[in-house]
Structure 1
Amino acid sequence: MVVGKSYKKLDSEAILTGRPIYTDDLIDQKNVLSIKILRSPYAFAKIKDIDVEKAKSLDGVVDVYTYKDVEQIRYSEGGEAAPEMAPHDRILLEPIVRFVGDEVAIVVAEDERIAEKARKLIKVDYEVLEPVLDMEKALDNEIIIHEGKRHHGKPFTKYDNSRNLVSDFSVSQGDVDEEFKNCDVILERTYRTQAQQHCSMETNRSYAYIDDKGKLTIVSGNQTISHMRRQTAQAVGLPIKDVRLKAAKVGGAFGGKKLSITEPYVAFVTNKTKRPSKLIMDREEMFMATSVRHPIISKIKIGSDKEGNIKAIDMKVLSNTGAYGSNAAAVTMESGQNVLPMYARVPAIRFNGKSVYTNMVPSGPLRGYGTTQGTFAMASIMNELAREINMDPVELLLKNTIRKGAEGGILPHKMRSFNVEECINRGKDLIEWDKKYPRVKVGENKVRGVGAALALHTSGIAGQDTATVILRLEEDGSYMLMVGSSDLGTGAETVLCQIAAESLNTDMDSISICTGDTNTAPYETGAYASCTTYITGNAVVRAGDKLKEKLLEIASKKMCLAKCDLVLEKDRIRHKKDESMYVLLTEIVRESLIGENTDQIMVKASYGSREKPRPFMAGFAEVEVDTLTGKVDLIKFVLVADCGTIINPNLAKVQAEGGLMQGIGLALYEDVVYDKRGNLLTNNFMHYNIPVKSDVGEVIVEFKSDYEPTGPYGAKSIGEAVVHTPSPAIANAICNAVGFQGRELPITPEKVFMGMRKREEK
């Protein structure tokens, strides 16, 4: 058995020893042009005039490009499908800028120092416009951020740029208004989640060159080579066949490297100059000019009887997509569609989600993809309802949460695996819920509280995500697995090799993997939406089964034995009962490569997502609050997860721990702050606060897996679901400790202190 064992990451030695595997390592530094982007100092403005002559005259400057030099081709930076569920509202350079940091000019020089000096010599005359900086005032505002006709690939999102509306989506079950009439208790609350930065260690960067076949080649640490190839080709006006995308190792992504941020610019410069070029963003640019988590305002109305049986839920969300549409429609949809199925046994549910443009840093995909924001709101109001009816919140959750086998209503697919009770009960034991709930005083000014939250996610996007893999037998009897996926540092390559080894009844040493080059890799939608293990893994299982059948068939003819009597092992195929009867794989492969009837032994297999199995998370927090200052210390966080069969326990545990830290940062520390003119104030790690290990107490992760029959060897996803529970569980724990319910993230000491004081005044 290979599945279920903790193998170290295949690339761990290369990473730890500093081998040249990242984008910057692969650049031909002697001949490459450096690119710098001049960025807008205004949140909304028109370019009246731009003077680049002094910059161009500087020795070592190759060229400076403005909107006058760029074909005005619209494209979408966010790629998940074709056509995209996103407006084509981007142009490489245009005579209007929509946020502080928007692209104004492209400076190309022989080295970075000269490019930086030239950038400072460009003079721009702006007509400064009034920006829209309040998401609640954006819809139908007289200020229109994107004027003129815009193409949108998915008309059902109701895109209308004349209203600053990017999407408007609804889904429901039952008669919500009628059910509210039957409720004993009705609560209406508003919750706000803030923008959040990706904070990947490696900044966004790309390198472009013309390969020996004349194809424009872009190298970057990206999440989706196929979509990015299409986006980049469209942005620079080239046929897809003339563009090649290669994925280097990714130094952290979390969703931020599935957007075409730097790739189109190096493609444009290299296509113009026919010379290699690179664009490496600095940390300030990462904060101000890439993308952030969508800020979302969630308004929820919930009703139940006195026993805690919820009758109706009405959820309305407003999402701020910033200056460009990107993934706004899908993220906003998932803030309900990936949250409300948890409560599908509720008779009546209604969801509406709108996303709007503002003149702020564009929002985009970030781990959790809307579900994190929706979970904070929904899990928080569940905790508030429990307090309203004087019920243990865990009891309320157990009473209203769906179970394995549920289908229909707001659920798009049957729940074939969903280990609710075991996850919750184990989490309660680990946090010592019955002993500590709701609060324990531990000092004169210190009170501890515990809180709980549940969450689910998805495993890929049903009806959209696909993967194709190629698996072949090598001359030495080993196997080569070729996939189009990217490893984002999660160990995905290791997991896929484990799945291949399991299907071929061999060991990990016998599997090699090749990823990330559109010239050689088969098509795959990419590494996002928690899909790699489930989608690509299923394709690998199919390929392994096909190759095994092919090998057994060849051996059957060669050995004159029935195929059903043979078994495939690491280096041979033998008779099931008589081990002396066998043929070596090296002999089979050698014969397949010589003579008139050569037929290299390889197979291709694809998997398209028909369902989206739900991983389930039960999160429990214990906090300590200083009643004099409002300071919150996270003493312990417990996560018990059902993500199906665990392919690699160590890698799964690390995924969970990393996701929890991001969720804790969202809950207590991280905030994206602007001034009144739209300038980003938190544009470096001195001003943007992320948690470190010393900020967090004990973190416990356990798995209580339920076998998923549609997954590869029973597996589901884990990568995104783990980020959802910290913010509502921590908010609930703080409320249980001192009575302050945080409805706006992050929950800072100032907010806790003021909340306690207001409660005392009342």
Structure 2
Amino acid sequence: MAVKTRQERKVVGTNVRKVDGLALACGRPKFTLDVDIPGALVGRILRSPHAHARIVSIDTSEAEALPGVACILHYGNTKRIPFTTAGQGWPEPSPYDAVLFDSKVRYVGDRVAAVAAESEEIAEQALRLIRVEYEVLPAALSVEEALVEGAPIIHDEEDAEGIYDARRNIAAAVDIPVGDIQRGFSESDVVVETTCEIPYSQHTPLEPHCVIAYFDEDGRLVIRTSTQVPFHVRRIVARALELPLERIRVVKPRIGGGFGCKQEIILEPVAAALALRTGRAVKMALDRSEVFVSSRTRHPMRVRVKLGAKKDGRLQAIEMEATSNTGAYGAHSLTVLSNVGSKTLPLYNKAPHLWFHGKAVYTNLPVAGAYRGYGATQGYFALEVAMDELAERLGMDPVELRLANHIRAGETSPIFEKIGEGREGKPQIVRSCALSECLKVGAERIGWKEKRAQKRRQGSWVYGVGMSGSM
């Protein structure tokens, strides 16, 4: 087949004018809420003040009588259909442990009811008029509390699907052995073990989660939303509201930051349900406090790494154990947990004995989800801390330790075949890898050897240089 010349190509290698280029250059990009839909209602959400409770009763009569209130939804007047809020590939690897509105709340900030009204002020006033009686339940506010014998069961509903072990509050688990890990440690001259705690962090995009749901001239539900996953939005809303896919159109305008938190379908089902119930357009946006509490965070995680090596630095064994706090729901629980090992352990493929195991644990805390790095961040942090400790024990330059063990072009790792992102892995060969060159050139250009020899202490501070690897 003849290869087209540059002059003959119409797309590849050509300068294509951006559709919104002029608007960007003029400072007039259109974000989700930058369109005016006349007559649109404003949606707001009533949230739980309790970490764990059952809703005994909910009285919306006073709120519904307020002039300007168009609709109030809660568990008593909506259908219960389990789904996942995680925007992921099909088949979805995350548990179906969420519903539109539940009679049980699982963290402070969980959804209780939603109001659609003529203005934000009326909607907020209506929220204050909703009377909710709660039966407060014991809460598990840490991974340790959630895993002890007799801990409160966070997901005791019978219709949830895909939870690894609900009675033990384990949303997902992995156990991937390669070789004989005990033999690997017994044959090592030096063994180090370290545990790292990675805390909560929030994405805080400039544009919060926001959405407008309305109907086009053909009666089709249109969801204009600040999302990273428009097709997943359509599929998940269709399931949650029992709508055929062809009745839903998702519009993804330019978004004001996402970083993973907008791989989550949070407001879209609520706005769509309010629009369907009222027959009118509904716009919703989280305020900044809701972004912190009721959207998503990075998974807090405890990662334990144990390394065994020969005196010359050759790794013999790597054990990595991850305990992930998924919060009240298991969105992205299995996939993030899987990536802790699957995206990190192949880097040091010279070790013949590996063991990656761990679990994602439900707690009565804010829900964790996708965040830049998607599990690899937590895994690499702990792995590289352990590599530095091993280098110190061996009396070896940390750069040289990594050069002796990292994967090269043309090589593979058994981890590739054993585990993927929430599913079985696939064997693969690394086709390109310039990590050796990066490490050598980087060390030379920053004066690594000279600066490393000049480490100094000043009170509780140590001044020096450090390095780490990732792939």
What TM-score comes out, normalization by structure 2 length? Answer: 0.91
Give the direction of change, closer, same or farther, for the CA distance of 1:237–1:3 in structure 2 (3 Å limit): closer
Correspondent of 1:220 among 221, 225, 236: 225
Summarize the alignment of residues 441-460 of structure 1 with structure 2, pairs less than 5 Å apart: 441=456, 447-456=462-471
Q: Letter of the 1:207 partner, please give it.
A: I
Correspondent of 1:175 among 166, 169, 180: 180
Say whether the 8 Å CA contact 1:301–1:314 is kept in structure 2. Answer: yes
Spell out, residue by residue over 1:208-236, the C-alpha distance to the aligned partner (whole angstroms, 9 max, x if none).
11111111110112111111101011111
Q: Secondary structure at the match of 1:120?
A: helix
Give the direction of change, closer, same or farther, for the CA distance of 1:165–1:441 in structure 2 (3 Å limit): closer
Partners of 2:199 and 2:406 in 1: how far apart? Answer: 27
Match of 1:358 in 2: 363
Partners of 1:170 and 1:296 in 2: how far apart? Answer: 17
Q: Does 1:425 align with 2:440?
A: yes
Give the direction of change, closer, same or farther, for the CA distance of 1:51–1:86 in structure 2 (3 Å limit): same
Q: Does 1:67 align with 2:75?
A: yes
Partners of 1:434 and 1:8 in 2: how far apart? Answer: 48
Spell out, residue by residue over 1:99-154, the C-alpha distance to the aligned partner (whole angstroms, 9 max, x if none).
0000011111001111111111222111111111111232364210001334446x
Q: Does 1:15 align with 2:20?
A: no
Match of 2:424 in 1: none
Give the direction of change, closer, same or farther, for the CA distance of 1:445–1:244 in structure 2 (3 Å limit): closer
Match of 1:574 in 2: none
Q: Letter of the 2:230 partner, please give it.
A: I
Partners of 1:150 and 1:387 in 2: how far apart? Answer: 52
Partners of 2:194 and 2:460 in 1: how far apart? Answer: 30
Correspondent of 2:35 among 26, 42, 46: 26
Partners of 1:10 and 1:449 in 2: how far apart? Answer: 48
Match of 2:243 in 1: 238
Q: Does 1:145 align with 2:160?
A: no
Say whether the 8 Å CA contact 2:109–2:290 is kept in structure 1. Answer: yes
Structure 2 unaligned segments of length 5 or more: list them.
Answer: 1-5, 417-426
Q: Secondary structure at the match of 2:359?
A: strand
Partners of 1:259 and 1:189 in 2: how far apart? Answer: 33
Q: Letter of the 1:69 partner, please give it.
A: N
Say whether the 8 Å CA contact 1:327–1:364 is kept in structure 2. Answer: yes
Say whether the 8 Å CA contact 2:71–2:277 is kept in structure 1. Answer: no
Partners of 1:354 and 1:122 in 2: how far apart? Answer: 38
Match of 1:698 in 2: none
Match of 1:527 in 2: none
Q: Letter of the 1:53 partner, please give it.
A: S
Q: Letter of the 2:432 partner, please give it.
A: S
Say whether the 8 Å CA contact 2:316–2:350 is kept in structure 1. Answer: no
Correspondent of 1:301 among 289, 306, 311: 306
Correspondent of 2:270 among 254, 258, 265: 265
Q: Secondary structure at the match of 2:450?
A: helix
Give the direction of change, closer, same or farther, for the CA distance of 1:454–1:11 in structure 2 (3 Å limit): farther
Q: Letter of the 2:366 partner, please give it.
A: V
Structure 1 position 88, deviation (Å): 0.7
Q: Letter of the 2:138 partner, please give it.
A: E
Q: Letter of the 1:396 partner, please give it.
A: L
Correspondent of 1:315 among 316, 320, 323: 320
Structure 1 position 8, deviation (Å): 10
Bigger relative contact order, structure 1 or 2, given CA contacts below 8 A and separation 6+? 2
Spell out, residue by residue over 1:32-62, the C-alpha distance to the aligned partner (whole angstroms, 9 max, x if none).
0000100001110111122212211111111
Structure 1 position 276, deviation (Å): 0.4
Structure 1 position 176, deviation (Å): 1.1
Partners of 2:51 and 2:12 in 1: how far apart? Answer: 51
Say whether the 8 Å CA contact 1:47–1:96 is kept in structure 2. Answer: yes
Say whether the 8 Å CA contact 1:288–1:361 is kept in structure 2. Answer: yes
Give the direction of change, closer, same or farther, for the CA distance of 1:305–1:408 in structure 2 (3 Å limit): closer
Structure 1 position 446, deviation (Å): 7.0
Structure 1 position 430, deviation (Å): 3.0
Q: Does 1:135 align with 2:152?
A: no
Partners of 1:451 and 1:374 in 2: how far apart? Answer: 18
Match of 2:120 in 1: 112
Partners of 1:264 and 1:165 in 2: how far apart? Answer: 26
Q: Does 1:326 align with 2:328?
A: no
Partners of 2:367 and 2:268 in 1: how far apart? Answer: 17
Say whether the 8 Å CA contact 2:51–2:107 is kept in structure 1. Answer: yes
Partners of 1:99 and 1:16 in 2: how far apart? Answer: 43
Say whether the 8 Å CA contact 1:318–1:356 is kept in structure 2. Answer: yes
Partners of 1:4 and 1:195 in 2: how far apart? Answer: 43
Spell out, residue by residue over 1:185-229, the C-alpha distance to the aligned partner (whole angstroms, 9 max, x if none).
111211111111011110000101111111111011211111110
Summarize the alignment of residues 557-636 of structure 1 with structure 2, pairs less than 5 Å apart: none
**Which structure has the larger Rg over C-alpha atoms?**
1
Structure 1 position 434, deviation (Å): 1.6
Structure 1 position 11, deviation (Å): 4.5
Q: Letter of the 1:136 partner, please give it.
A: E
Correspondent of 1:161 among 148, 166, 172: 166
Q: Secondary structure at the match of 1:87?
A: coil
Q: Secondary structure at the match of 1:271?
A: helix
Structure 1 position 79, deviation (Å): 2.2
Say whether the 8 Å CA contact 2:29–2:254 is kept in structure 1. Answer: no
Give the direction of change, closer, same or farther, for the CA distance of 1:237–1:27 in structure 2 (3 Å limit): farther
Spell out, residue by residue over 1:370-404, the C-alpha distance to the aligned partner (whole angstroms, 9 max, x if none).
00000000011000100111111111011111111
Match of 1:192 in 2: 197
Partners of 2:74 and 2:461 in 1: how far apart? Answer: 59
Match of 1:630 in 2: none
Q: Secondary structure at the match of 1:388?
A: helix
Q: CA RMSD in A?
A: 2.2
Spell out, residue by residue over 1:545-565, the C-alpha distance to the aligned partner (whole angstroms, 9 max, x if none).
xxxxxxxxxxxxxxxxxxxxx
Partners of 1:446 and 1:138 in 2: how far apart? Answer: 36
Report sequence identity in percent: 39
Summarize the alignment of residues 692-707 of structure 1 with structure 2, pairs less than 5 Å apart: none
Q: Letter of the 2:269 partner, please give it.
A: P
Match of 2:97 in 1: 89
Q: How many residues are matched?
A: 451
Structure 1 position 313, deviation (Å): 0.8
Structure 1 position 431, deviation (Å): 2.2
Partners of 1:191 and 1:8 in 2: how far apart? Answer: 47
Structure 1 position 247, deviation (Å): 0.6
Partners of 1:13 and 1:300 in 2: how far apart? Answer: 51
Partners of 1:390 and 1:355 in 2: how far apart? Answer: 36
Structure 1 position 81, deviation (Å): 1.8
Match of 2:379 in 1: 374
Partners of 2:103 and 2:154 in 1: how far apart? Answer: 13
After TM superposition, the structure 1 stretch with the greater mean CA deviation from structure 2, 432-441 or 277-286, is: 432-441
Give the direction of change, closer, same or farther, for the CA distance of 1:7–1:390 in structure 2 (3 Å limit): farther
Give the direction of change, closer, same or farther, for the CA distance of 1:4–1:444 in structure 2 (3 Å limit): farther
Say whether the 8 Å CA contact 1:192–1:296 is kept in structure 2. Answer: yes
Structure 1 unaligned segments of length 5 or more: list them.
Answer: 457-762
Q: Letter of the 2:54 partner, please give it.
A: K
Match of 1:406 in 2: 411
Match of 2:129 in 1: 121
Q: Secondary structure at the match of 1:88?
A: coil
Say whether the 8 Å CA contact 2:314–2:350 is kept in structure 1. Answer: no
Say whether the 8 Å CA contact 1:222–1:257 is kept in structure 2. Answer: yes
Structure 1 position 242, deviation (Å): 1.4
Q: Letter of the 1:205 partner, please give it.
A: C
Structure 1 position 422, deviation (Å): 1.1
Say whether the 8 Å CA contact 2:71–2:278 is kept in structure 1. Answer: no
Correspondent of 1:206 among 203, 207, 211: 211
Partners of 1:439 and 1:174 in 2: how far apart? Answer: 41
Say whether the 8 Å CA contact 2:20–2:29 is kept in structure 1. Answer: no
Q: Letter of the 1:67 partner, please give it.
A: Y
Say whether the 8 Å CA contact 2:73–2:274 is kept in structure 1. Answer: no
Spell out, residue by residue over 1:143-185, the C-alpha distance to the aligned partner (whole angstroms, 9 max, x if none).
10001334446xxxx7121221111112232111111111111
Give the direction of change, closer, same or farther, for the CA distance of 1:124–1:344 in structure 2 (3 Å limit): same
Q: Letter of the 1:391 partner, please give it.
A: M
